Amino acid sequence: MTTYKALTKSFIKSLQMSQSNDKRTRITMKVIVAIVVLFIFIPVAVFCALMTYALVDGLSYFHIENVGVAMVFHLICLFTLFFGFNVIFSEFYFSSDIEYVRPWPVKAWELVAAKFSVSYYVDNAMQIFMVIASLVGFFFAAKPGVMSYVSSFIAVFTLPIVPLCYCGIISMLIMRFTKAVKNKESVQRIIAVVLAVIILGFVILFRVLASSAEDAVRFFVTETNSPFVDYMNKIFPMVHFISKAIAFGSVSDLLIYILINIFAVALMLFIAELIYFKGFENLVATGKSKKRDFNKLMEISVIRTPFKAYLIKELKILFRTPAFFTNCVIPNFMWPVFVLIILKMQTYDASLTALRIYNMNTPKIVGFFAIMGSVVFSLVMTALNSISSNSISREGKHFQFMKYIPVPYDTQWDIKVLVSFGLTFVGIWMYLIPAAILIGVNPLYVIVSMALSALSISFVAYMGVYLDSVQPKLVWDDELSVLRENTNVALCMGIALGIALMIGGIGYAFYAFLKIRLLLVSLGLFVVLALLNLLMLWRTSKKGKRHIAEQEEM
């Protein structure tokens, strides 16, 4: 146990980002963190709380409040499973500190236990926050007893354990009994395929249920004839017991829930003792890669301008690195899938024909939502894909490359912004333009929306690079940590969400309540976004080079 504690403390310490010595920078980071809490964590918490409240309040009439809690918990467990698998696999097998630990007299289960604790620490801040928010929604909808509060407190910190144990067991079995995984890129490709299949499955599911909103509701939330709850209880059996313990204060169900968690951890550690180290033997045996000889490398080399060469370098990093490709590039082109799922969950008619009729009857209202929606969505999407907010951190140990190549800092900076701008703008408008044509939106509204969208994307792209220059995460073992452990990604997202909410709210108030003409609202948006872009350009030109220079001195 002493070895486990020492390993866990050491591993967690190695994950922490270096702190700036500049007092102003530290103050700025604290202010931005407060913004993130205000515009990311709080909105997510409100959404989870409201969803749980609606489910529990609606099902309380049938005395099955536990089904509402179970549904939310199952979704959180799926979230943990999908996004935790990559983290677990990387920590268990592709973390550089393992090579230093293996020669020590450390047992396999101790190393796995420490790595599992680190993965829990890294991957579950948002999940724990979601559980707390969901429970708050439950408390407002129901009148729980003392045992419900005790069960809720335990659930907050233990709900992610079983999904992460699944990830650990699966990763060890894959590494021991197959040779499909040769490196971390192989893992990320497998995960990308699995996620694509899951998303496709959900799309097909909602297409099937689209004909009847009642069928969709029954599929998810009713206890009788509820395939979703039944299936998920088989995958995550502990949710069934903890939801009953919270809803009804059942002590026996709480004890069973605790035993399931203990059993899952014990089973994972038992399997680790048997096969964990043997998995490394397969990794070493299959990890040899072919190297191109020098002559072949020279044959494929061509002379390019510095701008073109650096641009290609940035694009290759994003497209050839599976972690960056699946987390930064794919979201720009997959977002219509999630929009489709949301539309299929609604009870009103959101078909193409209905939208055409609505546009014919109220073209100005459609124009307003097209313009305002393009601005808000562009702000959020640019921050969400995090292409700009990890652009300098992506350099990692090759950060000095920025210093020695004959390309000015300004040019490098602009290229990083250009890559973020290009992928985001194309990803958004390659779908919105055909949609606008099919619905029959006024071309003038489309042109105005595209112009405002371009300004929105440009602002967030420059802001993301600027934030990442203040305190980039240059020390990392795998590319996923650049995204998961980089606070600049969350900071950029928080600021973008805050600005999007303010612009959307103020724009709607001006148009709906103050009856300001759409032309004037659009002109006001243009002025605001232009000023924000000028502010970021000024800030970048003044502080950007200094931030990079300070990092070089560290």
* Integer Cα distance of 143 and 55 in angstroms: 15
| Candidate from 384-393, 433-442, 538-547 with smallest mean pLDDT | 538-547
- Read off the DSSP letter of residue 542: I
Structure token digits, residue 18: 């270096």
- Tell me, what's the pLDDT at 287? 45
- Tell me, what's the pLDDT at 420? 94
Q: Is the pLDDT of residue 326 over 80?
A: no
- Tell me, what's the pLDDT at 180? 61
Most confident of 291-295, 358-362, 446-450: 446-450
Stronger pLDDT, 98 or 318, i.e. the higher one: 318
- Tell me, what's the pLDDT at 527? 94
Q: At what angle do helices 108-123 and 2-15 cross, to 10 degrees?
A: 40
Q: Is the pLDDT of residue 225 over 70?
A: no
Nearest to 425 by CA among 381, 359, 368: 381
* Integer Cα distance of 36 and 59 in angstroms: 34
pLDDT band at 248 (very low <50, low <70, confident <90, very high): confident
Stronger pLDDT, 293 or 6, i.e. the higher one: 6
- Cβ of 493: how many Cβ atoms within 10 Å? 23
* Integer Cα distance of 256 and 254 in angstroms: 5
Q: Are 375 and 527 in contact (CB under 8 A)?
A: no
User: What string of DSSP letters covers 26-61?
Assistant: HHHHHHHHHHHIIIIIHHHHHHHHHHHHHHHHHHGG
- Tell me, what's the pLDDT at 234? 86
- pLDDT tens per residue, range 266-277: 999 999 999 888
pLDDT band at 331 (very low <50, low <70, confident <90, very high): confident
pLDDT band at 23 (very low <50, low <70, confident <90, very high): low
Q: Are 332 and 424 in contact (CB under 8 A)?
A: yes
Most confident of 5-9, 284-288, 318-322, 532-536: 532-536
* Type and span of the H or E element at 10: helix 2-15
- Tell me, what's the pLDDT at 103? 67
- Tell me, what's the pLDDT at 291? 47
| Burial status of residue 1 (CB atoms within 10 A of its CB: 0-12, 13-18, 19 or more) | exposed
Stronger pLDDT, 43 or 166, i.e. the higher one: 166
- Cβ of 20: how many Cβ atoms within 10 Å? 17
Q: At what angle do helices 184-209 and 65-93 cross, to 10 degrees?
A: 160
31 CB-near residues (< 8 Å, 6+ apart): none
Q: Is the pLDDT of residue 376 over 90?
A: yes
Most confident of 73-82, 444-453, 537-546: 444-453
- Tell me, what's the pLDDT at 177? 79
Q: What is the mean pLDDT of residues 46-62?
A: 75
- Tell me, what's the pLDDT at 374? 93
Amino acid at 153: F
* Integer Cα distance of 241 and 73 in angstroms: 11
Q: Is the pLDDT of residue 216 over 90?
A: no
- Tell me, what's the pLDDT at 155? 92
Stronger pLDDT, 226 or 329, i.e. the higher one: 329
Share of the chain above pLDDT 90, in %: 25
Give the distance, in angstroms, between the CA of residue 125 and the centroid of all CA atoms in the same chain.
12
Q: Is the pLDDT of residue 60 over 60?
A: yes
What length is written for the chain? 554
Structure token digits, residue 177: 């009994």
Structure token digits, residue 451: 């112009």
- pLDDT tens per residue, range 94-130: 776 676 676 677 888 888 998 899 888 876 767 787 8
Q: Are 439 and 352 in contact (CB under 8 A)?
A: yes
| Candidate from 10-19, 206-215, 279-288 with smallest mean pLDDT | 206-215
pLDDT band at 334 (very low <50, low <70, confident <90, very high): confident
Structure token digits, residue 475: 């020390």
Nearest to 384 by CA among 328, 447, 450: 328
User: Which residue in this structure is represented by tokens 């948002």?
Assistant: 126
User: Which residue in this structure is represented by tokens 């894959």?
Assistant: 174
- Read off the DSSP letter of residue 18: P
Q: Are 436 and 370 in contact (CB under 8 A)?
A: yes
User: Which residue in this structure is represented by tokens 């971390």?
Assistant: 184
* Integer Cα distance of 187 and 462 in angstroms: 32
- pLDDT tens per residue, range 454-510: 999 999 999 999 988 887 888 776 677 777 777 788 888 888 888 998 898 899 899
Q: Is the pLDDT of residue 292 over 60?
A: no
Nearest to 429 by CA among 410, 452, 407: 452
Q: Residue 310: helix, strand or coil by DSSP?
A: helix
Q: Are 526 and 507 in contact (CB under 8 A)?
A: no
Q: Is the pLDDT of residue 20 over 80?
A: no
- Tell me, what's the pLDDT at 267? 95
Indicate yes or no: pTM above 0.95: no
Give just the sign of the alpha carbon dihedral 403, 406, 410, 411: negative
Ramachandran class of 476: left when φ > 0, alpha when ψ lies in -120 to 50, beta otherwise: beta
- Tell me, what's the pLDDT at 290? 45
- pLDDT tens per residue, range 157-207: 999 999 999 989 988 888 887 766 656 666 666 666 666 666 556 555 555
- pLDDT tens per residue, range 126-162: 778 788 888 888 888 887 788 889 999 999 999 999 9
Nearest to 264 by CA among 228, 234, 238, 282: 238
* Integer Cα distance of 138 and 156 in angstroms: 13
- Tell me, what's the pLDDT at 456? 96
Q: Is the pLDDT of residue 88 over 70?
A: yes
- pLDDT tens per residue, range 409-439: 888 889 999 999 999 999 999 999 999 999 9
Q: How far is CA 182 from CA 178, 192, 282, in A?
A: 10, 16, 8
